[in-house]
Structure 1
Amino acid sequence: MAITVTSGVLATLREEATRAHPQECCGLLLGREDGAILAAVPAANVHPRPERHFEIDPAALIATHRAARAGGLAVLGYYHSHPTGRAEPSATDRAAASGDGRVWAIVAAGEVRFWRDAQSGFEPLPLRVAAG
């Protein structure tokens, strides 16, 4: 299943990765239930070793889920960067995955790739870019 993402979201992801370098950036992907990603919400990386790992600030995670329940955009997934790696799930990402079907965007060296956190492991997602 292909996902749709706006060019503005892609720009935000690249900008956040550049801003956070040499640490990992992270945040949430918001959109519609049909899989259209319309917003990327940056969050603080609260992991004790942010140069190699990420942990989304729990307060940002809770606030974003509350906003979604109140009628805002749905939380479709998460994003983070790999400052020295590739735009694909690392061993650490695979170990942390829950198989919940959420979308993960990974940014590395200016490239953004999208993955589904499936029960069988990460699956690459085809991408369609929309204006915005």
Structure 2
Amino acid sequence: MLVLPPEIRNAIVRRAREGRPREICGVFGGKYEKTGRSIVRSQYPAENVAETPRTRYRIDPEEQLEIFERLEDRGEEIVGFYHSHPRGPPRPSKTDAASATWPDRSYLIVSLEPFEIGSWRWRASDDGDGRFEREDVVLE
């Protein structure tokens, strides 16, 4: 379960709409609980540096490291990541699965057409593959 404050949800949706037709992306900070519940306390927008930003997202590794250091300085944990799909689909793509690297963390997607917000946990497997599992998003 991903617990998301409404003001953070609204900020991400607004940014996704303003960023259209490019995908937007960022990192969630907060409290990661091994019980399966993650509480978002902050979001850190990042620049999308993908070669094809209309259909892919990529956070610059140096910017990602800076975000991780800010999280640590604030006593937060990496809860997960978010990005938008300006023209759908409202679920992770094959590219999203191929680039997922943080086991048990949330990957929230804002789809604009059709409008839908969903979140998935990345589950790594012993064979080196993995899969996304849909999770509940609770506004709190």
Aligned-residue CA RMSD in angstroms? 1.5
2:15 is matched with 16
Moved over 4 A (4+): none
**Preserved contact between residue 16 and residue 42 of structure 1 (Cα < 8 Å):** no
Tell me how far 1:70 sits from its aligned partner.
Answer: 2.7
Gapped regions of structure 1 (runs ≥ 5): none
- The reply on whether 1:112 has 2:111 as its aligned counterpart is no
Gapped regions of structure 2 (runs ≥ 5): 125-129
1:72 is matched with 75
Of stretches 101-110 and 61-70 in structure 1, the one that deviates more from structure 2 is 61-70
- Pairwise mapping of residues 1-80 of structure 1 onto structure 2 (< 5 A)? 2-34=1-33, 35-80=38-83
Give the TM-score normalised by the residue count of structure 1.
0.89
**Preserved contact between residue 122 and residue 131 of structure 2 (Cα < 8 Å):** yes
Give the TM-score normalised by the residue count of structure 2.
0.84
> Following the alignment from structure 1 to structure 2, what is the Cα–Cα distance between the partners of residues 71 and 18?
29
- CA deviation map 1:46-71 (0-9, x unaligned): 11110110001223211121123334
> Following the alignment from structure 1 to structure 2, what is the Cα–Cα distance between the partners of residues 123 and 14?
22
**Preserved contact between residue 12 and residue 40 of structure 1 (Cα < 8 Å):** no
- CA deviation map 1:17-36 (0-9, x unaligned): 11110010011011112310
User: How many pairs were matched up?
Assistant: 129
**In structure 1, the residue corresponding to 2:29 is in which secondary structure?**
strand
> Following the alignment from structure 1 to structure 2, what is the Cα–Cα distance between the partners of residues 46 and 36?
27
Decide which of 122, 136, 139 is 1:126's aligned counterpart. Answer: 136
Kindly provide the amino acid, as one letter, of the partner of residue 19 in structure 1: E
Highest RCO, 1 vs 2 (Cα 8 Å, sep ≥ 6): 1
**Preserved contact between residue 27 and residue 78 of structure 1 (Cα < 8 Å):** yes
Seq. identity, %:
28
